[in-house]
Structure 1
Amino acid sequence: MTTNLFDLKGQVAAISGASRGIGYAMAVALAEAGADVALLQRNPEKMDVKEEIEKRGVTCEIVPCDLENKTQVKEAIPKVVSAFGKIDILVNNAGIQRRSPSVDFSEEDWDDVIDINLKTVWTLSQQAGKYMVEQQSGKIINMGSLLSYQGGLNVPAYAAAKGGVAQVTKALANEWAKENVNVNAIVPGYIATDMNTALINDETRSRQILERIPADRWGSPEDFKGAVVFLASTASNYVNGHLLSVDGGWMGR
């Protein structure tokens, strides 16, 4: 049955940045497809996402993981494996943004954005890859950006990090495809989330952005549910090193 290609029952998925927005929608989608879910979460006391996932009849555990804490980042995947016995899917979703003209962009902001948006993607992927290569199966899904392709304005560190995410995705796919580990990325377009509040509230920029989107609307977090399930499932077994744009047609314009 074709529908079985998207069935994630018996799979264990770990996801970062699931407390809101795109990450929240993707975590729920993985649960709705049948996966048990590990939430790599900064605040282990925040239970609302866990409770929402458990309504889908799957197991959900919170793994403390503050992405600014290098020790917690390195320990996160081993803790997932300890709790569930394995890891089948990793979604590197969490990220931050800093905006400033490049002549004024601080070293602190640069380091923060690169560390959280790129280095933690590498660290979590490397740790998950150790298990996935050994078990000869796995799916790693990174979150790119339109700035994986474009330079943007006043976001030099974010552009550098998301360009790096695209290249790390391809580099790992080249090594691990033969091990039945698929590494791909989702590339969001302009999505109505907290990260884009400044753009949404800028009447001129918001209008300019909307004029270029063939779908004639900003995206929503729910637009990512199908994409993440596809890349997490056997339906994508021959998809490697791909950047899947979910952008309402922006890149084709």
Structure 2
Amino acid sequence: MSQQAETEWKGRIVLVIGGNEVGTAIAEGFRNQGAEVAIISDAADMTDLAVITSKVDTIIAQFGQIDILVHAWEVFAQASALEMPPQQWKDIVQGNIKSKFLYAKEVGKHMLEQEQGNIIFLSSISGIVAAPGAIAFAASQGAIHQIARTLSVEWAKRGIRVNAIASTLPEGTISNPRIAQVTPLERIPKAEELVGTVLYLASNASQMVTGQIISVDGGYVAQ
């Protein structure tokens, strides 16, 4: 780590939501830069407003502030439109949208008081292109992108930037082999390959970048 990087990240507090492979890699990436990182990984803490408020307040009390929020937790299931049970639709759509919105809102309150902050959503290219067989997940991702864009405009004058990183479906899903075959770089990104883009969006190098959905997908959506 260079002295410049150490100076930029020293004392910055990062909250990562999601203890999955992606969230863990992101947390490690920030730690390697010298930032202090808190991580929330329990699925029970993802959609309940009272729990979320308590978790955020506890972290604020411990660290004094939150400079960067990275939300990497998602609910995924495959089912076509006609096969999708109503409860599964609700679980996926409400889980993904509600969690990102509520964490952004609760952390955003503190960032607005600080008049500085950075929010990054990890999302999917399913919110950009059609995702046959994953309609609920795709709908939730499109909504997340609009939340990022809207918050970026609402909060821009208060020094808060909001962006999203859209990648391909999580490793281990049924669609991955097919997606890899039709991706120009012929594979899907590994968790650690998302870290560089997260660090860029959280850094001073991207001070004029907000309201953007950046695809890290091996060229999939460029076709």
* 1:13-162 equivalent positions in 2, closer than 5 A: 13-18=14-19, 20-42=20-42, 66-162=45-141
Change (3 A) 1:246 1:209: same
Q: CA deviation at 1:199?
A: 2.5
Aligned residue for 1:102, secondary structure, equals coil
Q: Measure the CA separation in 2 of the matches of 1:151 and 1:78.
A: 38
Aligned residue for 2:155, secondary structure, equals helix
Q: TM-score, normalised by structure 2?
A: 0.92
**Residue matched to 2:156:** 177
Q: TM-score, normalised by structure 1?
A: 0.81
Change (3 A) 1:124 1:15: same
Q: Measure the CA separation in 1 of the matches of 2:117 and 2:192.
A: 24
Contact 1:147/1:163 (8 A) holds in 2: yes
Instruction: Kindly provide the amino acid, as one letter, of the partner of residue 157 in structure 1.
Output: A
Give the count of matched residue pairs: 222
Contact 1:95/1:117 (8 A) holds in 2: yes
Q: Measure the CA separation in 2 of the matches of 1:149 and 1:82.
A: 38
Contact 1:33/1:229 (8 A) holds in 2: no
Aligned residue for 1:185, secondary structure, equals strand
* 1:193-212 equivalent positions in 2, closer than 5 A: 193-194=171-172, 196=173, 198-200=174-176, 206=177, 208-212=178-182
Instruction: Kindly provide the amino acid, as one letter, of the partner of residue 25 in structure 1.
Output: A
Q: Measure the CA separation in 2 of the matches of 1:38 and 1:28.
A: 11
Q: Measure the CA separation in 2 of the matches of 1:175 and 1:88.
A: 18
Alignment pair present for 1:218 and 2:219: no
Q: Measure the CA separation in 2 of the matches of 1:141 and 1:3.
A: 23
Q: Measure the CA separation in 2 of the matches of 1:6 and 1:246.
A: 27
Cα-to-partner distance string for 1:39-59 (whole Å, 9 max, x where unaligned)? 11217xxxxxxxxxxxxxxxx
**Residue matched to 1:12:** 13
Instruction: Kindly provide the amino acid, as one letter, of the partner of residue 116 in structure 1.
Output: G
Contact 1:6/1:230 (8 A) holds in 2: no
Aligned residue for 1:103, secondary structure, equals coil
Alignment pair present for 1:236 and 2:209: no
Q: Measure the CA separation in 1 of the matches of 2:96 and 2:3.
A: 35
Q: CA deviation at 1:6?
A: 8.7
Contact 1:113/1:161 (8 A) holds in 2: yes
Identity, % of aligned pairs? Answer: 28
Structure 1 stretches (4+) deviating beyond 6 angstroms?
A: none
Instruction: Kindly provide the amino acid, as one letter, of the partner of residue 224 in structure 1.
Output: L
Instruction: Kindly provide the amino acid, as one letter, of the partner of residue 209 in structure 1.
Output: I
Cα-to-partner distance string for 1:201-224 (whole Å, 9 max, x where unaligned)? xxxxx2x42332121222111101
Change (3 A) 1:75 1:221: same
Change (3 A) 1:130 1:69: closer
Change (3 A) 1:177 1:68: closer
Contact 2:14/2:37 (8 A) holds in 1: yes
Unpaired runs of 5+ residues, structure 2, are none
Q: Measure the CA separation in 1 of the matches of 2:7 and 2:132.
A: 38
Taking only aligned residues, the RMSD between alpha carbons, in angstroms, comes to 2.0
Q: CA deviation at 1:190?
A: 4.7
Q: Measure the CA separation in 2 of the matches of 1:83 and 1:110.
A: 37
Cα-to-partner distance string for 1:25-82 (whole Å, 9 max, x where unaligned)? 1111011111111111217xxxxxxxxxxxxxxxxxxxxx622444212322212101
Aligned residue for 1:142, secondary structure, equals strand
